[in-house]
Amino acid sequence: MTTLSSPQKINGKFKGKDILDANQFSKRDIKIIFDKTDKMKKAVLKKGGLKLLEHKVLAPLFFEPSSRTFSSFSAAMQRLGGSVIPLPNMANTSVAKGESLEDTIKVFASYSDILVIRHPEQGKVLHAADITSVPVINAGDGIGEHPTQALYDLYTINESLKKVSGLNVVFFGELGRYRPVNSLAKLLALYKNKITFVSPPQGKVQTAIIDYLKARDIEFSETETIDKVIGNCDVLYVTRVKKEFMSEALYKKIQGKYVVNKKLLQKMKKKSLIMHALPRIDEIATEVDDDPRSIYLKSQVINGMYVRMALLALVLGKI
Amino acid sequence: MTTLSSPQKINGKFKGKDILDANQFSKRDIKIIFDKTDKMKKAVLKKGGLKLLEHKVLAPLFFEPSSRTFSSFSAAMQRLGGSVIPLPNMANTSVAKGESLEDTIKVFASYSDILVIRHPEQGKVLHAADITSVPVINAGDGIGEHPTQALYDLYTINESLKKVSGLNVVFFGELGRYRPVNSLAKLLALYKNKITFVSPPQGKVQTAIIDYLKARDIEFSETETIDKVIGNCDVLYVTRVKKEFMSEALYKKIQGKYVVNKKLLQKMKKKSLIMHALPRIDEIATEVDDDPRSIYLKSQVINGMYVRMALLALVLGKI
Amino acid sequence: MTTLSSPQKINGKFKGKDILDANQFSKRDIKIIFDKTDKMKKAVLKKGGLKLLEHKVLAPLFFEPSSRTFSSFSAAMQRLGGSVIPLPNMANTSVAKGESLEDTIKVFASYSDILVIRHPEQGKVLHAADITSVPVINAGDGIGEHPTQALYDLYTINESLKKVSGLNVVFFGELGRYRPVNSLAKLLALYKNKITFVSPPQGKVQTAIIDYLKARDIEFSETETIDKVIGNCDVLYVTRVKKEFMSEALYKKIQGKYVVNKKLLQKMKKKSLIMHALPRIDEIATEVDDDPRSIYLKSQVINGMYVRMALLALVLGKI
């Protein structure tokens, strides 16, 4: 069962807070994050980084491997002068000897100033945050949340389209198990955006998200085909069909249908964006990569590092 | 066969020395370590760390994985401004291609200023130290030694009880394969302490330790049940039954009997300590965690980092 | 099929260049590298390192694990004040989810200032360099190239013998799949050196290398036995028979024959060198290790770190 938990609101005060769920942020919080991210971007382009987090130690607890998110957080911490405990994943750790998550969290919290946790099970990162007073950043929990992804997705939309409201955003593909959809939908709900969920019946967006949008009077719709919505779409957010969660037969059935190619691109507006949280398999044809609207391997990736630099500095009270 | 080797005594001079066995330390050495650890603790609490080990590189050679000890040493090195070669374990290394331990040690010693080695086989770390002139810290060798663990156990006892002598210390559980028992027993033997080993017949403390205590006229006893000793115990040092070394049947037989729970706690003195080197499985019930006497997930863990900071700085001659 | 690609020549300008193939270097380039390496060596011996690469981030992309090369590059980067994304290998990464090499390279290039790539397939690192504008260092690509190895091999020859020309260099063992042979042979071809390839018929040096030497009028020969060439040899470069690429039967047949022992040593000149890129298995008997001509576990290893420090600083434009 999917329940959306409610961690502490930020309310303009980041220091010492956990970053667990996209529902923690107000418009003002997001403005602060965007401003600080701008500063981080400038600093990196000018001199590679800043010395804000000297003597600070980040413990990455990746109970599910993720080279991309792990490396993005690592580079963010290192560019701020901080250190990362060099443990890319929690395989072969005490967890294998039968240690509880609670004990593991308490131990790593002793050594470090901030925990960045990824876990295959929804809710486990929130539970981890309850255990320790050290700030926790959710780097993805099962089919739950991925708030830092959503923050840099929104930052990138704002950077490219100069606005985060009044947009037609289309989520496209297998949506039910794809946590960035949950997080970004919540952020979009802060502003006057219209959301369309285009997915196969087996991959519909989670009911909890539908309920979240309804409760906030957000205009949205669900459909199985993209044809009717692509022409008026400002942001096409493509998702990976998660092969690891389905039969080979179902995978093939879905994967072939939910694909972005040049033909689809021709139906899109000139000023629009194609986004993807990556890794991308076949759901976006490589022929699309060079299109100026394709930002998934460009600004969307690098903004991830800038936003995480801003969040680390904010949560650690150094900015 | 278990032989206790005798590496070089410290004699107040840490610079360039290996840290291999608890028998290297005199009372004076331990006083120095405790003093430096106090300084490290203050520095971390005040500003996160110090810049003592800039440009120094630590090579962690974990031939047996250990997220906890690896991370504690990493954070210690990083908080002193040093670097850690980011290799959490030696699986998939040249050792797999058939390289000898001797060659591996020589290669890593070339790159680094200090080696922190864990090895599944007793004596291998001492052997490694013989090969290179770069200082080696033993981070646990098979059923042999774990000197840095014992040093922070003793530091924590001193911090909590304000003394390290005249104590009744009870080691409880499967003791024969649990190296922290060996190391701490040797340190306790430096002072007038009374030791009781409570274990099943299949998990008795090593003969070498018994001989070590006898040779030093230390008062000790061995028993299978805790009932008669718990009431007068100052430190209850609980150990994990190492499932990986025994049959499932034997494991269940031992594990169920050697457990600390609230009922046992009621028989303990108000001013006493429950310690554990972690990871803890079921041998301490979680209902005990909040008791003020339980320090295994609290000061005992964090003191590990402080003591290792002190040792790194001492051995590298920077304090 | 083996093709030797031709990446951009250095021509005295290292900043922003990729380091992919030994054929990129002129004598003048090598002189620059040697000079800067001397400086790095002095700095490390004096104070452990330099602060040239602060805020710079190195992404190690090891699609084939290599503790040695990984650690050598890591220590080099860290001793210059730079950071290393702590990902020792690319197992369990997005590649496993089906991501293309192209996407992976683009993502990591976003976070970092330099990529150090090892790949099991020849040519893949050159391909990676084509994809990104971030400088790429080839840390070994299949049976292709290993240019940084060759550079520190040559540096070590120069340091020991005070020259890099007019030498009789003998490559000894299984040569066809051993990339350091390719790279070093190309560097030796820049100077007037005579090369002898001593190998079993199943392990002959690659035709591409033979063609390379012929095209440059380099004196060389191929033979199966070492007896006639050992007496006049200045550098004996021993290689590991790569068990992982052949049958157990063939391995045993080759491994027993191509061995350096004390008996062979007696036939060598007093002023000569025995080198090996390591790891060494049985192809050099340990009885040879203490001979002053044996430098494979001594200067050859540590020079690897110094040369890589020089290359990192040069390519990043900080020296």
For the cut 60, the answer to whether the pLDDT of residue A5 exceeds it is: no
A177 touches C: beta carbon within 8 Å: no
CA distance B104 to chain C (A): 8
Q: Give the separation between CA A132 and CA B301, rounded to whole angstroms.
A: 14
Q: Cβ separation of B84 and A87 shorter than 8 Å?
A: no
pLDDT given at position B1: 35
pLDDT in tens, C199-243: 999 899 999 999 999 999 999 999 999 999 999 999 999 998 877
CA distance C111 to chain A (A): 6
CA distance C71 to chain B (A): 6
Angle at B65 between CA B64 and CA B66, to 5 degrees: 120
Chain A hits for B75, Cβ within 8 Å: 57, 59, 83, 85, 111-112
pLDDT in tens, C229-287: 999 999 999 998 877 777 888 887 777 789 999 999 999 999 999 999 999 988 999 99
Q: In this structure, what token pair is assigned to residue B254?
A: 């031992």
Q: Residue B5: CA atoms inside 13 Å, Cβ hemisphere, count?
A: 16
Is residue B116 within 8 Å of residue B72, measured between CB atoms? no
ipTM value > 0.85? yes
Q: Cβ separation of C279 and B110 shorter than 8 Å?
A: no
Is residue A24 within 8 Å of residue A184, measured between CB atoms? no
- C128 — pLDDT class (breaks 50, 70, 90): very high
Share of chain A above pLDDT 90, in %: 87
Is residue B14 within 8 Å of residue B314, measured between CB atoms? yes
Q: What is the dihedral of CA A83, A86, A88, A90, to 10 degrees?
A: -110
Is residue B27 within 8 Å of residue B190, measured between CB atoms? yes
Of C48, C279, C281, the CB nearest to B56: C48
What average pLDDT does this structure show over C156-178?
A: 97
Residue matched to tokens 């990339």? C179
Ramachandran category for residue A123: left, alpha or beta (phi over 0 → left; psi -120 to 50 → alpha): left
For the cut 60, the answer to whether the pLDDT of residue C1 exceeds it is: no
Determine the 3-state secondary structure of C115 from DSSP: strand
Of C55, C87, C103, the CB nearest to A79: C55
pLDDT in tens, A204-227: 999 999 999 999 999 999 999 999
- A241 — pLDDT class (breaks 50, 70, 90): confident
Q: Which of A 41-60 lie inside 8 A of B, CB atoms?
A: 54-57, 59
Is residue B222 within 8 Å of residue B204, measured between CB atoms? yes
For the cut 70, the answer to whether the pLDDT of residue B205 exceeds it is: yes
What average pLDDT does this structure show over C160-179?
A: 96
pLDDT given at position B2: 39
Q: Cβ separation of B65 and A97 shorter than 8 Å?
A: no
Subunit partners of chain C (3 or more CB pairs within 8 A)? A, B
For the cut 60, the answer to whether the pLDDT of residue B238 exceeds it is: yes
pLDDT given at position C4: 43
| β-bridge mates for residue C19, sequence order | C137
Chain C hits for B63, Cβ within 8 Å: none
Return all residues near A74 (Cβ < 8 A) that are at least 6 apart.
Answer: A58, A60, A84, C85, C86, C87
Chain A hits for C112, Cβ within 8 Å: 75
Is residue B158 within 8 Å of residue B34, measured between CB atoms? yes
Question: Among A15-19, B244-248, C9-13, C59-63, where is mean pLDDT lowest?
Answer: B244-248
pLDDT given at position A2: 39
What average pLDDT does this structure show over C7-35?
A: 97
- B240 — pLDDT class (breaks 50, 70, 90): confident
C112 touches B: beta carbon within 8 Å: no
Is residue A254 within 8 Å of residue A283, measured between CB atoms? no
CA distance B91 to chain C (A): 9
Q: Cβ separation of A103 and B67 shorter than 8 Å?
A: no
Phi, psi of B114 (to 5 degrees): -155, 145
pLDDT given at position C42: 98
Cα A172–chain centre separation = 16
pLDDT given at position A3: 45
Share of chain C above pLDDT 90, in %: 87
H/E stretch holding B141 reads strand B136-141
Query: Which domains are delineated in chain B?
Result: 22-146+302-315 (3.40.50.1370), 147-301 (3.40.50.1370)
Q: In this structure, what token pair is assigned to residue C92?
A: 């369990």
Q: Cβ separation of C84 and B86 shorter than 8 Å?
A: yes
Closest of A11, A35, A269 to residue A159, by C-alpha: A35
Q: Give the separation between CA C165 and CA C148, rounded to whole angstroms.
A: 19
- CB pairs < 8 Å spanning A and B: 83
Return all residues near C118 (Cβ < 8 A) that are at least 6 apart.
Answer: C61, C62, C63, C64, C66, C69, C70, C125, C139, C140, C141
Strand order in the sheet with C273-276: C220-223, C194-198, C168-172, C235-238, C273-276
H/E stretch holding C117 reads strand C114-119
Cα B244–chain centre separation = 19
Of B49, B67, B74, the CB nearest to A94: B67
- CB pairs < 8 Å spanning A and C: 84
Phi, psi of C3 (to 5 degrees): -115, 140
Angle at B143 between CA B236 and CA B37, to 5 degrees: 55
